[in-house]
Amino acid sequence: MVDDGEYNVPIVVMTPVGSGIHGSLYHSHSFDAIMTHLPGWKIVLPSTPIDTYGRTAPLAAKVATKLGAEGIEVEVIDLRSLWPWDRDMVFESVKKTGRFVSLNEDVEVTNFGEHIIREVTKECFYHLEAPPTLVAGANTPGIGLAWTLEAEQVPQDKQIEAALRSVVATKA
C-alpha cells in the first residue's frame, strides 16, 4: 500500500550466520555489521532461542565462570538486538566496571563491535580504566571448511580469556 510516496513492506529475514555449522565460505559468515547498515531495519542475533548475540555469548559466559572461580568478576551482556542496541545497559556496565570487551565472530575490520567501542569511548571515556578491546574473527575472505581452520578464524575460549585477563590486568 502506498501512502504519500511511502511503501509499507513488512519483511522478516531469517538466516543462519556464523561458525559452528561448518558451512565454510557459503554459510559461516557473520554479516551482522552489514545488516545494521540498512536504515529502518531491526537486527537481532540470538545466541539461544530466547536470548541474543550469536554463538559467542555462551562462550563468554563459560569463560566468565572460569575466571569467576579465580576471583575475577566478568559481567557478560548478551545483546538481544544489534539495532537498536541497548546503549544504556552497556554504558551502565562500563561505568560500573571501568572496562569493556566487545566479542563477536564477524571479521575484525568494519565490525559492529567497533561501533560499540566508539560509542563506549565517546560516552564513557572518563570511566574507562583500560582501553576497550575487540575480540573478533580473523580478517579472512571466508571461514575454512575444516573444523581446525574454522576454530582458528573465529574467537574461541582461549582468545576470549586472554583478552579479559589483559583488560582486567590493565591499571588506569
Q: Grid coordinates in use for 102? A: 566487545
Question: How far is 19 from 105, CA to CA, in rounded Å?
Answer: 8
Per-residue pLDDT at 99: 97
Q: Where are the domains of the chain?
A: 2-169
Task: Give 2-169's CATH code, choosing from 3.40.50.920, 3.20.20.450, 3.40.50.2000, 1.10.1040.10.
Answer: 3.40.50.920
Predicted TM-score (pTM) of the model is 0.80
Q: How many CA atoms lie within 13 A of 91 on its CB side?
A: 13
pLDDT of residue 45: 74
Tens digits of pLDDT across the chain (172 residues): 556 777 777 777 776 666 666 665 555 667 677 778 878 888 877 666 655 757 788 999 999 999 999 999 999 999 888 888 999 999 999 999 999 999 998 888 888 999 999 999 999 999 999 999 999 999 887 777 788 888 888 899 999 999 999 999 997 6
Give the pLDDT of residue 51. 58
- pLDDT of 2 reads 59
| pLDDT at site 3 | 67
